[in-house]
Amino acid sequence: MLQIIHGNKASAELERILNRGISETTEIEQITKAILATVKAEGDAAVKAYTKQFDGADIKAFEVTQAEFDAAFSEVDDALIKALEAAKQNIETYHEKQLRAGYEIRDEQKMLQQLVNPVERAGVYVPGGKAAYPSTVLMNVIPAKIAGVTDITMVTPPDKDGKIKSSLLVAAKLVGATRVLKMGGAQSIAALAHGTETITKVDKIVGPGNAYVAMAKNLVSGTVGIDMIAGPSEVLVLADATANPAYIVADLMAQAEHDEMASGIVITTSEKLAHDIAELAPKMVNDQPRKAIIEAAFKGYGAIIVVDTMEEGLHLVNTIAPEHLEILTADALDIYQKVKHAGAIFLGEYTPESVGDYYAGTNHTLPTNATARFSSALNVADFQKKTSVVYYSKEALEAARTHIELIAEEEGLYAHRDAVSIRFGEIL
């Protein structure tokens, strides 16, 4: 189920795992382009038609009503509401530290300033397919609220009866989403990006989704801002001989149950641990409600890589740049700083990735497919934009003019030069 690979043979298998799904991109892109174009041209009618086609729901009005919110609170157990409230507080505490103001540089003759303002309208996509995730509501809306976004539209696919899972509605109300719309898939991204008769165009779209949602976000990027192009989820466990194999299998299953293309990789210096994990995995998977999904993910995109040294293991970690990295080694609190590329890092045997997914306060919207090499977890700055302000007095411009004019001349942009010179009477 989980194959064991030795370090010198890992490259080809890792490349296959990390490139999963790429062969399907062309077909997905063609379908998504058609959906985007139809929604842009036909508005609400197209969104309703696609919702009927893909979700089986006949939607009359997109927006969730107050009565539906009230019903959701009556249906959700108080203990779950308290858990969501506790997670909300942790997420707020962590993300409030990310809030940054602008700055100013000034002397008697000039002033430079950076203004920081929130985007005006944000769209948050929350999956509702194989599973619905109230935690995703918290993770995406809370940073937007802290940044100061005043208009937050959440979209999520309805069930066949046109209803949204109650826990999603409770989470949306707890964090203060402005509205929740019953729509999902590429059609909802098109509606948010272009607007319709009843849906206001947003400035930025965030949140994870399936391959069609990811493709739609990619295609509308530039028309609106997006957070990232999220691929299938992944976890990498770096372990030594002290690690508990049952904990590792449990953590691999936690990631694999997302979908059949989720990836779970173990890198270890221990041959014994590798064999223990491989032997234990089939037994533990048998007890899982989402057994078929986990088995498919393990078979297709799971691997145990045995390396000679921990340094070799860390090199592989930084090459893979995983979405989730767990370090289960005796010296986890020392070696994690050698990791340069990972979406989120979880240290020690009592910090499963689930802690970050739901409760600790860090964000679980993370870069996948090695994009952690150049991008970060969703954060408050994703909902802020920065504006430069420049003031020069006549004296300051005169002191700088020669340098500006020389650079402009070097670039062959003579009007740039003249825009300075004219202010000193040299051009009539």
Instruction: Supply the residues annotated as catalytic.
Output: 323-324
Tell me which residue of 104, 105, 114, 118 sits closest to 388, measured CA to CA. Answer: 114
Beta-carbon contacts of residue 108 (< 8 Å; ≥ 6 apart): none
Strands (E), 375-422: 384-392
At 125, list the tokens.
């996509």
In the chain, the amino acid numbered 153 is: T
At 419, list the tokens.
């825009």
> Judging by beta carbons within 10 Å of its beta carbon (0-12, 13-18, 19+), is residue 359 exposed, middle or buried?
middle
Query: To 10 degrees, what angle do helices 66-75 and 166-175 make?
Result: 110
- By the 8 A CB rule, do 323 and 341 touch? no
At 151, list the tokens.
């208009």
Phi first, then psi: give them for residue 91, nearest 5 degrees: -65, -40
- By the 8 A CB rule, do 146 and 95 touch? yes
In the chain, the amino acid numbered 356 is: G
- By the 8 A CB rule, do 236 and 205 touch? no
At 63, list the tokens.
């927006």
- Rg of the chain (C-alpha set): 25
- By the 8 A CB rule, do 124 and 137 touch? yes
Task: Find the helix or strand (DSSP H, E) in which 115 lies.
Answer: strand 110-118
Residue ranges of alpha helices (H) inside 43-158 are 44-55, 66-75, 78-96, 134-147
Task: Find the helix or strand (DSSP H, E) in which 123 lies.
Answer: strand 121-125
C-alpha–C-alpha distance, residues 364 and 8, integer Å? 32
